Amino acid sequence: MSSASQPPQFGQPEQPPQYGQAPAGDPYSQPAPQAQPSPYAAQASPHAAGPSAASADPFAQPAQQTFAPQGVPPQAGPPRAAPGTSLGDDIGAGFGFAWNTLRTNVAAILVPGVVYGVLMMVIVGIAIFSMIGIMVAGMSSIDGTGDADGAVAAGAMLGAYAAFFGILLLMVPVNLLWASGAYRVGGSVLELRKPTVGQGFVGPGRVILTLLLVSVGVLVGSVLFYIPGLLFALFSIFAPAAAARGASPMDAIKESFRLVKDNIGAAIVGYLVLMAISYVGGMLVVTLVVSIPLGFLFTLGLYERLSRRELPNPELAR
């Protein structure tokens, strides 16, 4: 008889079967289920007591998500709701990000603002004086001899207005450069990089092209009884911000339309806040230099919040 079939010796108890192994001679026993790793172990909070604390608990819950980029601390201040879940917190966080970015990067924002503001004032002055000069020259040629005088006066008026608006077109590239620079400054702060004065003068080409496409769309929509232009301005409000974060011009416009559609209430309130900033800042030339970049930075901050990403503290940009 083999040793495997011999009964246990007296005084030596039979060893119990190991967990997961059926006892010998029992054809109906099933192996014990194998322990499954927790599906949430990889998402354990970094503040857990130890590296294996979460993986040892099969009932561990996922850590609270902060939606902040890795290594980017959120803004300082009172606790806020998760991004994209509270209208008041999203608007407040967006405006706080804009103001703190401006406050901590005065040179990078205001130096380009002063230069572009003065340049715009010069363009407007040239346009006004050109219009007045053409009108005066046309009127002085009238000698009161009949219907021809009316034609000359009408021609002078049309020429004056054509010169005025033609010269004002020079403000378009100035606005595009100024806006793109503000978005570039904001994008650097989102990555906790200290922006330079040179970055505030001009942004990436995709941002400039996106701003141009949005401007053309608003202009065409405004010609079509104004309402389509207003709707296009609302739905494309986040397109430059999306381009500043890396999207191509067309993808940025599509992203903005989707984001506004999914967050229509926050988008409308954000658009009204942007209009209020522009209106109040436009009362004086000095405040205009601050309000224009402030509005762009607010749009960028609100875009990040509605995209479910937490905003960093601009004071930590280095």
Each residue's pLDDT tens digit, 276-312 = 988 887 676 677 889 999 999 999 999 999 999 999 9
Instruction: Report the DSSP beta bridge partners of residue 74.
Output: 312
Q: Quote the CA–CA distance of 247 and 151 in Å, as a whole number.
A: 52
Instruction: Report the DSSP beta bridge partners of residue 312.
Output: 74
Evaluated on CA atoms 152, 153, 154, 156, the torsion sign reads positive
At 160 the pLDDT is: 76
Percentage of the chain beyond pLDDT 90 is 49
Angle between helices 285-306 and 249-262 (to 10 degrees): 80
Q: Quote the CA–CA distance of 186 and 271 in Å, as a whole number.
A: 18
Closest CA to 299 of 229, 222, 245: 245
How far is CA 292 from each of CA 91, 230, 268, 280, 298, rounded to the nearest angstrom?
A: 17, 19, 19, 10, 10
Q: pTM surpassing 0.75? A: no
- Among the listed ranges 11-20, 90-99, 107-116, 124-133, which one has the minimum average pLDDT value? 11-20
Q: Quote the CA–CA distance of 188 and 304 in Å, as a whole number.
A: 13
Instruction: Report the DSSP beta bridge partners of residue 70.
Output: none
The secondary structure of residue 284, as a DSSP letter, is S
At 73 the pLDDT is: 59
Which tens digit of pLDDT belongs to each residue from 170-205?
A: 899 999 999 999 999 999 999 999 999 999 999 999
At 14 the pLDDT is: 46
Q: Quote the CA–CA distance of 124 and 134 in Å, as a whole number.
A: 15
